Structure 1
């Protein structure tokens, strides 16, 4: 009996030692962002950790996991977002008309205002004023830097999850190099390599973003910290404290770029094995002898919000096809709906893309959708509207597994020709399959990679040994401006001394010659 009790105590202590308290903060108003966060946090709970997730959505049914899983749902962010949409300040389809410079300014001005109310939520404030402790705080990077102060407040290491590839929002936080000469900024659709004009505009965009963040975004976030967190730290003491950054990217999807040691690729970690489809969808897909085109503008944009002229152009193009079309349409009726088009307000995207009869995915070009289509090897036709969608669409074109039509250039003729080009030219599907093979070819699954590194940070108390020295340098030292200035000064002084010495020697020689002539005369 004594031995049984001893074994039980050892197992209990062992379990307690491996179980961590983890706080996740994924408050973005985009459902696709929530899917990323909840998928990661549920996997950590399944591993046996005690998880708390602050988000704008939450689970209808608490997931069954080995560890505990607690939802804190903040409704204030979605409310703020809807207020701005209703007031006409946010119109995503209008956003498509903006060039990169004003688009960056718009995003920097709007997002901190949308995200701010989350920290004021009653349940969040209750958590902040509690005596709870966490072993690590995981925050999604999405113009919400004030939320990172929760890691300082709870005395826990900070892990940042980027819903995109390496970009300005995360590179500056970990000292990662990001040359504007060959790495396009978010909201652009520049080719790689960039032309001279693209590099010029990209450099100006980088400069503008620097100014916007330093003089508007970070001061706003700092005020938010002071407003909602007791004895809140200064924003500059929070920004550069990330132990690691988990990147929702992979070289098979995104341009290969430099990474410092604490940046880890986990692109595709949210992709789940296909689930059984509802009977009507299964029959629709199974019976499509000529194949199916799947059409969705994602979780944030609504196809039903297309202007009538765009919608009608798309419908006329669909009516010419022999293939069936499965369209995520958010209303009960679609005026002029062709016979080969099936509608649904919600569709299980990952399971649909896994069906062998799906020949083409027409998408807005969001990174989650792009990741899922590469995972299943389905070519895309992208209609990008805002944010990173244009760059994702350009990447699909560059890598040969899709085409892009800018939203403002959607016409019946161009839409039809693009669909026919992808369906009739096998190079697009072959490229998609090749990309899929490269995406799957990994030593460890992306989710296992994410969990390993999160637990690594916990084991090594923040893993400060992964931090690069660049973070401790002021900007002028990082860019070697002091060294360059010193070398310029030395060069100027040396040149000045050399010039004066040369003049003095020349003058002396001239004077000697003059004296010699005078003596001869």
Structure 2
């Protein structure tokens, strides 16, 4: 009898609070890596038993079996142009000013395409209700209006951890004195690096507030004229889910409603295709795995960069497995095997993989840390650069900027990472840190989403700094007051001293007594 009562009590206390939530996910980017992360998150929530609707550009071919999963697929000229022939390598030539303006244009296209799509409009004008709205935060701030429209708490998902696009929205402190911006190799101990980082940070801040947000607000108002302005909706965030973890990202401040779930997309290794299994098994010296990810494609490498890689790989006693998107790799050495698509997580789990040459994207970076494989990064743009710098700083990898890639540099760096045991040892330690968690990342996400629903948006997690204008948040009014009062006191002191000096000068001297 006691066992029955205890079981009933356990069900009431533990199981009862877990209920199926109706969740709308908005993941409007067509890029494979962004879609994959959004899909992994929403599939994970569906498998927890939730009713999930996902606005995206691709759609699930094999929807999850648990819960309810529905795609709303947004297609447009933007998604059609995002195909295999697209070459993103030239982005590395953009200055931080041009890069920001490029992202402004991309953001306007994403927001306009999503809000104008007939399937999204059908959803907006339906009678559907949602308990929570999850939106990928990536230059698409006008989409936050969907949470307002459905009167649901807003959750943001960041594919690249905390950054200057998302920190201000929840008042997360991120001083540019030691937290790097994108597209910069940054050493906080170097004065000139800090000057550059502050300049990039300041330009980004001005760009967002003077150009980007007004443009997003205009698009949003076009479809939701009665909605509050974006400067209200932007700061009404209940929760931020970050694709980061202190095993892969530098330790930085977190306000209470920011939660790390980095590694949530990683799955247990599966069996490899027979040809790959044989290639990896029969590699007595080990294998170098090379992939530039899904957005950057190796087949678009500049000819001189490709030739550098081929010459260095040909000198290796190791085998090389190269993700190459064409049928033929010109000049391919005998020790190199290519594949248009490769099961990356399963490959990295193989014990014969000694080094991962990567572009440094956070998915690849996270997977390499999880499986304990040292990295040699060749970053091109965005968060790839700071990920690569993080690997070098913490001793579990090296990097060569794409623009600096040459034969001598590559040969030296690859030899170092292959033969110096410190990189593998440090990466194994990082892998242990990533795996040492109380709960799985998807369980963490599920808990906090339900928490926000239970507490009606969890306004108690909102920090007071969000209610202050920017100049008050930065204490500029206090600084101005102190400078003003100090200046006034100095001025009054100057007047007083001047008055006293003038008085002394005007006072007649007494006549000296004459002696006979």
Equivalent-residue separation in structure 1 for 2:514 and 2:90 (angstroms): 91
Instruction: Identify which of 460, 464, 483 aligns with 1:465.
Output: 460
1:50 to 2:46 alignment: no
Equivalent-residue separation in structure 2 for 1:229 and 1:267 (angstroms): 34
Contact 1:295 1:328 in 2 (8 A): yes
Instruction: Identify which of 493, 510, 515 aligns with 1:516.
Output: 510
Q: Deviations over 1:401-446 (max 9, x none)?
A: 1111111222233222222111111111111111111121222222
Instruction: Identify which of 134, 137, 144 aligns with 2:133.
Output: 137
Structure 1 residues 383-392 or 279-288, which shifts more?
279-288
Q: Deviations over 1:153-181 (max 9, x none)?
A: 10000001111122111111011111111
| Alignment map for 1:275-314 (pairs within 5 Å) | 275-314=270-309
Instruction: Identify which of 361, 366, 383 aligns with 2:361.
Output: 366
Q: In 2 relative to 1, CA 15–73 (structure 1 residues): closer, same or farther, beyond 3 Å? A: farther
Aligned to 1:30: 31
Uncovered stretches (5+) of structure 1, i.e. residues with no partner: 1-6
Uncovered stretches (5+) of structure 2, i.e. residues with no partner: 1-7
Secondary structure class of the residue paired with 2:156: strand
Instruction: Identify which of 472, 476, 481 aligns with 1:481.
Output: 476
Shift of 1:99: 3.7
1:327 to 2:328 alignment: no
Equivalent-residue separation in structure 2 for 1:508 and 1:224 (angstroms): 69
Q: In 2 relative to 1, CA 381–16 (structure 1 residues): closer, same or farther, beyond 3 Å? A: closer
Shift of 1:369: 0.6
Equivalent-residue separation in structure 2 for 1:263 and 1:247 (angstroms): 7
Q: Deviations over 1:193-251 (max 9, x none)?
A: 24111111111111111121112111111122122336333211210011011111111
1:119 to 2:115 alignment: yes
Equivalent-residue separation in structure 1 for 2:501 and 2:338 (angstroms): 91
Structure 1 residues 253-262 or 96-105, which shifts more?
96-105
Shift of 1:397: 0.7
Secondary structure class of the residue paired with 1:264: strand
Secondary structure class of the residue paired with 1:24: strand
Equivalent-residue separation in structure 1 for 2:33 and 2:454 (angstroms): 30
Aligned to 2:3: none
Contact 1:56 1:75 in 2 (8 A): yes
1:108 to 2:109 alignment: no
Q: Deviations over 1:310-354 (max 9, x none)?
A: 212211211111211111111111111112111111111111111
Equivalent-residue separation in structure 1 for 2:46 and 2:106 (angstroms): 33
Equivalent-residue separation in structure 2 for 1:408 and 1:475 (angstroms): 38
Contact 1:225 1:233 in 2 (8 A): no
Contact 1:100 1:188 in 2 (8 A): no
Q: Deviations over 1:474-513 (max 9, x none)?
A: 111111122222222211222222222233333334444x
How many residues align structurally?
A: 504
What TM-score does the superposition give when structure 1 sets the normalisation length?
0.92
Aligned to 2:40: 39
1:70 to 2:65 alignment: no
Equivalent-residue separation in structure 1 for 2:78 and 2:281 (angstroms): 38
Contact 1:291 1:324 in 2 (8 A): yes
Q: Please, what is the CA RMSD of the aligned residues? A: 2.3
Q: Deviations over 1:57-80 (max 9, x none)?
A: 111122211x10001111227436
Shift of 1:372: 0.6
Secondary structure class of the residue paired with 1:123: helix
1:205 to 2:200 alignment: yes
Equivalent-residue separation in structure 2 for 1:506 and 1:233 (angstroms): 62
Contact 1:176 1:260 in 2 (8 A): yes
**Which 4+ runs in 1 deviate beyond 6 A?**
14-17, 518-521
Equivalent-residue separation in structure 1 for 2:111 and 2:284 (angstroms): 47
Contact 2:59 2:71 in 1 (8 A): yes
Structure 1 residues 372-381 or 401-410, which shifts more?
401-410
Secondary structure class of the residue paired with 2:337: strand
Aligned to 2:167: 171
Q: In 2 relative to 1, CA 387–53 (structure 1 residues): closer, same or farther, beyond 3 Å? A: same
1:269 to 2:264 alignment: yes
Equivalent-residue separation in structure 2 for 1:124 and 1:462 (angstroms): 24
